[in-house]
Amino acid sequence: MADIEYLKGLRAVRERAHIVLKAAERDELTHFTYHGEKMPEVADYVAGIIKRDFGPSNFDKIPPHGRWQHFDIGGIPRVDQLIKGWQAAQYDDLEITRRLIDLFFVAVLLDAGAGDVWTFTEPGTGNVYGRSEGIAVAALYMFKAGTLAGSGTSGRNEAVDGHGLASLQIETFRKHFQITPDNEIISDSSRVDLLNSVGSSLLSLPDIFGESGRPGNLVDYLLAQRIGKEDLDYEVLWSVLQQVLLPAWPKNRTHVAGVPIGDAWPLETLKRQSEGQKSENDTLSIQPFHKLTQWLAYSLSVPFIRVLKLQWEKIDRGTGLPEYRNGGLFVDLGVLLLKDQVLKQGQQNSQQETPSFNATSDVIVEWRAMTVALLDKLHEIISAQFTQQGICLSMAQMLEAGTWKGGRELAAKYRPQTKSSPIVIQGDGTLF
């Protein structure tokens, strides 16, 4: 079972992706051609965005990649407003952090691609938001309404627990996310199914999340694990999140020897690289990503830093996120190009100029693997530039201030009508 545990961990995400990059450097990818000579151009582009938005004197204010920023779309400090309200109600920092974990937990799990149509109109302001920020704001209002708390939770609307998640109905979700035939979100039923499953999973782990299965009880658990240490352990956070999420993902995800391993998929390029090698359960061809788990871990780490003033050790073991904004950056800037026949197939799939493929197809898995490895390579180049200026730029900061933002800006430039990625992913609401 050692190979299965390996595939569940962060180390496998990075190591397997770099095997794929080595294959790309030998022109042995299945679906893409790799143009590494363009990486300096990508580095200059991303560094330019970071300097544009944070230079010359605000580099220390670059936030880590996380869900917090999405709640504040439109320049409205919604999270700070929540915190001030809780402080006025005499809640201490521990309870405030628990509540933020409650909120962020749900908002991240709902944060697969929304599609090009859906938007959320904010009550009171009338502001309209789409995509990731729209999902964040909609989740915030659903949280504040008490929809995600079980019937046993009294006197506290702003709560999440396993009972509330397990019993969430699709009609309730559609109401709070303002979903109509003219305002559809991708795979609303899959999102609700996921929250239902996660609710049951939380309830199955009372030693961590309490009898109510409250995500916020993670705060107390992690603090109790700091035996003889000041800093929190990112690997402990990761282990807990995998315990919760692996049993909860859709059943069509990859299983090895009957064990679910989550967002991890067979990849032809890895299969070719592993020919002649042996593994316990023939797992050498599987590329893990655990993207939503990584996005959740990055996001949940931030309230501990900002509210409880704690730091994390081993957080650098997290990788760049293999999603369509980061991946789109490398396609739009010419580092990764679909091979001609693959491009034609993708255009046949979409019946448009922009190709599309199923989220679990070999094309998309290869793209995601290359995205992870190229983000490492890009971070190495860019962090060296900033180090010369006396600035330490973490991977999470580069993702937040540079690659994710850069991928979005390129999408708006090249595809202004849809602002979609250069390769469209046909998802199920729980991937990407």
Are 347 and 353 within 8 A, CB to CB? yes
The residue ranges of the chain whose pLDDT is under 70 are: 1, 151-156, 276, 279-281, 428-432
Matching residue, tokens 């090895």? 256
How far apart CA 100 and CA 81 sit, in angstroms, is: 12
Question: Token pair for residue 281?
Answer: 């359960």
pLDDT, residue 92, reads 97
The answer as to whether 389 is a domain residue is yes
**Looking at 212-316, which runs of residues are DSSP E strands?**
232-233, 255-256, 259-260, 264-266, 286-288, 312-313
The answer to the question of residue 210 being in a domain is: yes
Taking residue 30's Cβ as centre, other Cβ atoms within 10 Å add up to 18
Residue 111 pLDDT: 87
Task: Give tens-digit pLDDT for 288-340.
Answer: 999 999 999 999 999 999 999 999 999 999 999 999 999 999 999 999 999 99
pLDDT, position 175 = 97
**H/E run at residue 139:** helix 131-144
pLDDT of residue 388: 85
88 found inside a domain: yes
- Domain enclosing residue 104, as ranges: 2-426
Answer yes or no: is 110 within a domain. Answer: yes
Q: In this structure, is residue 369 part of a structural domain?
A: yes
Contact present, 71 and 160 (Cβ < 8 Å): no
* Helix then strand then coil, % of the chain, to nearest 5: 55, 10, 35
Q: Position of tokens 């009550």?
A: 123
3-state secondary structure of 340: helix
Number of structural domains in the chain: 1
Q: For tokens 């396609």, what's the residue?
A: 331
Per-residue pLDDT, 116: 81
Question: What pLDDT is recorded for position 154?
Answer: 44
- Whether residue 432 is contained in a domain is answered as no
Q: Confirm whether 431 is domain-assigned.
A: no
- For residue 56, say if its preceding peptide bond is cis, omega within 30 degrees of 0: yes
Which residues, 6 or more positions from 310, have their beta carbon under 8 angstroms from its beta carbon?
230, 231, 232, 304
> Cβ distance 385 to 43 under 8 Å?
yes
Phi, psi for residue 25 in degrees, rounded to 5: -65, -20
Domain contains 9: yes
Q: Which of 26, 3, 27 is nearest to 16 (CA)?
A: 3
Beta carbons of 423 and 113 less than 8 angstroms apart:
no
Amino acid 155: pLDDT: 47
Half-sphere exposure of 253 (CA within 13 A, CB side): 23
